[in-house]
Amino acid sequence: MMKRVIIAAGLANLVAYPVLAKDLTIGLAGTVTSIDPHFYNASPNNSIAMQIFDRLTERTADGQLVEGLATKWESVTETKWRFTLREGVRWHDGKPFTSDDVVFTLSRAGNVPNSPGGFGGFMRNIETVEADGDNAVVINTKAPAPTLPGELANIAIVSRHAGEGADTADYNSGKAAIGTGAFRFSTFKQGIEVGLERNADWWGKKVAWDRATYRMISSASARTTAALAGDVDVIDAPAATDITRFKTTANLSFVSTPGLRVIYLAPATSGDAWKANVKGPNGESLETNPLADPRVRNALSKAINREGIVDKIMGGTATASGQWLPEGAFSYTPDIQVPKADPAAAKKLLADAGFPSGFQLTIHVPSDRYPNAPAVVQAVAQMWTRIGVKTDVEALPWTTFSSRKSEFAMKLLGLGNATYDASSMLVNVLGTVDPKRGLGASNDSGYSNPALDDLVSKAMMIYDEKAREGALVEAVKVAVADGAIIPLYQQSNAWVMRKGLTYAPRIDERTLAKDIAE
């Protein structure tokens, strides 16, 4: 009898003192604009998508390609790939994942209505996708596509049964946000927060957290305050001015790594959008767009003191650059050095292009997306004004900026180089807008260079890595010489977290709750 009493008392204690759920709160610098994983290829969106959805292939923190929903991939011929799928995977609603979901995904991912910058470039070479039983797919390509497995690491796999007929609003509401990932969708308050709940049946490694909340905190000082006060467990993109403080605060830890993201200026080279933001030296309307002339674009580049910006504004958390890849990356071009500021040469180029008295220009910049971006653009504006290009700055919230990018004559943007080589910029940003060819998915500036398109197309068909790298290097040289964009610097990626947490810093800057351990 006594034993029964003791057992009952023990059970009562278990009920009275349940195991507490483990919650993680992250202060995110960027703004998540959608839960639809195919709507917008932007890092904050991708950070969330990578929690809810999986991909055929995945990238480790240092960029290595590893298994995802596919456990094997092989090139059957130069234009045919076969992907063997992971067995036993289930969607968050319990239905089985099959090859049909991959077929559906690859028909949807490049065709989301109203996308401000989609994923079509990663699938540009896909001709057909066929199920080979329930556990394999065969992808036929239009031309040799040696980089396809790496490019598919950017495409979240969604379910046909939840996604067919669904639009972006259905994903944002959670109705269609049924993934196979480490977390299930819980809540989405645009511009405020995203809530996730652990998927106990995930096929991957065990996740430490029952719930993860991403709070969008665009202000660097507000993120600092939240981290110091313990209101959040992790923040990304800490302010450069606070890094020493973070490193010496007993209850916080700081981790960082060189990143893939380049911050660059994008000039509008065609269309009519420039007319509202470019005027003559006295404010008069112009008949022709100065930015359409590569001499003008190169003049603006020569006027910029990149090293000064990195030192004085970025506080050493970035590396000045004249191209869009960091040293050591595949197709980094050693011949392209960091341009030295040369105002005299810049003025001469302007005069040669027919603008000896300069002109007036407005730069647009997101106020809440990239660290210190408004201050960087203010510095650039002063440098351009000194060579006769009187420059004003307009800063806008990311949600507004991203929906209006195509309206601006000059804008500051960032690219995370998701292909881990030069092709992401060459195909998606600098490729002539051509949905049929999968080019220009993120080209908001109207840049077009058919010779460059052909050079890139040929490069991406080369299976031999050394030869492909050489071809991409040549393409980079062409784009930089043409002033297609004006690269400024590569960002470093950093995180601050409460002591006791660990996170392998990612070169793609994604902040993934599933990989944060305690």
223 neighbors 235 (Cβ within 8 angstroms)? yes
Q: What is the pLDDT of residues 477-510, one digit of tens each?
A: 999 999 999 999 999 999 999 999 999 999 999 9
Element (H, E) at 204: none
Query: Which residue has better confidence, 57 or 14?
Result: 57
| pLDDT tens readout for residues 185-223 | 999 999 999 999 999 999 999 999 999 999 999 999 999
Q: What is the pLDDT of residue 256?
A: 95
**What pLDDT does residue 21 have?**
75
User: How far are the Cα atoms of 35, 111, 448, 484, 509 from residue 107, in angstroms, in the given order?
Assistant: 18, 8, 27, 31, 28
Separation between Cα atoms, residue 84 and residue 64, nearest integer Å: 19
Q: How far is CA 459 from CA 133, 198, 241, in A?
A: 33, 42, 42
**What span, in angstroms and rounded, lies between the C-alpha atoms of 227 and 215?**
12
Question: In Å, how far are 89, 174, 246, 329, 467 from 472, measured between CA atoms?
Answer: 38, 41, 40, 12, 9
Interstrand relation of 70-77 and 80-85 (parallel, antiparallel or unpaired):
antiparallel
Percentage of residues in the chain having pLDDT higher than 70: 96
Q: How far apart are CA 250 and CA 42, in angstroms?
A: 34
Domains of the chain: 23-216 (3.40.190.10), 260-492 (3.10.105.10)
Query: Do the strands 23-28 and 211-216 form a parallel or antiparallel pair, or are they unpaired?
Result: parallel
- pTM of the entire structure? 0.86
Q: How confident is the model at residue 20 (pLDDT cuts 50, 70, 90)?
A: low
Taking only the tens place, the pLDDT of each residue in 38-57 is 999 999 999 999 999 999 99
Stretch 373-384: mean pLDDT, rounded?
A: 98
Helix (H) or strand (E) holding 288: none
Q: Do 383 and 389 contact (CB within 8 A), yes or no?
A: no
Phi-psi category of residue 181: left, alpha or beta, with phi > 0 → left and psi -120 to 50 → alpha: beta
**CA pseudo-torsion sign 195, 197, 198, 201:** negative
Q: Which residue has the tokens 């467990």?
A: 233
Mean pLDDT for 253-257 is 96
Do 497 and 234 form a contact (C-beta atoms < 8 A)?
yes
In the numeric block, which tokens belong to residue 315? 């506080």
Contacts of 224 (CB under 8 A, 6+ apart): 235, 238, 239, 242, 245
Contact 292, 477 (CB under 8 A): no
pLDDT at residue 316, rounded to an integer? 82
Residue 16 has pLDDT above 80, yes or no: no
Q: What is the pLDDT of residues 328-349, one digit of tens each?
A: 999 999 999 999 999 999 999 9
Query: For 256-265, how does the pLDDT look when each residue is reduced to its tens digit (9 = 90+)?
Result: 999 999 999 9
Residue 30 has pLDDT above 90, yes or no: yes
pLDDT for the residue numbered 7: 34
How far apart CA 339 and CA 246 sit, in angstroms, is 33
The C-alpha atoms of residue 189 and residue 192 are separated, in whole angstroms, by: 5
| Average pLDDT over all residues of the chain | 94
The pLDDT of residue 160: 98
List, for residues 274-326, the tens digit of each pLDDT value. Answer: 999 999 999 999 999 999 999 999 999 999 999 999 999 998 899 999 999 99
- The residue among 505, 418, 414 whose CA lies nearest residue 58 is 418
pLDDT in tens, 83-135: 999 999 999 999 999 999 999 999 999 999 999 989 999 999 999 999 999 99
Which phi and psi angles does 105 have, rounded to 5°?
-55, -45
Of how many residues is the chain composed? 518
DSSP character at residue 207? P
> What count of other Cβ atoms lies within 10 Å of the Cβ of residue 206?
10
Q: Say if residue 113 is exposed, middle or buried (CB neighbours under 10 Å; 0-12, 13-18, 19+).
A: exposed
**Spatial CA neighbour of 167 closest among 118, 120, 112:** 112
Burial of 485 (0-12, 13-18, 19+ CB in 10 A): buried
Going by the DSSP 8-state scheme, the letter that residue 291 receives in this structure is G
Contact 514, 197 (CB under 8 A): no
Residue type, 138: V
d(CA 59, CA 203): 16
Confidence label for 3 from pLDDT (cuts 50, 70 and 90): very low
Place of tokens 């066929």: 130
User: Looking at the predicted structure, is the pLDDT value of residue 2 above 90?
Assistant: no
18 pLDDT higher than 60? no
pLDDT at 65 over 80: yes
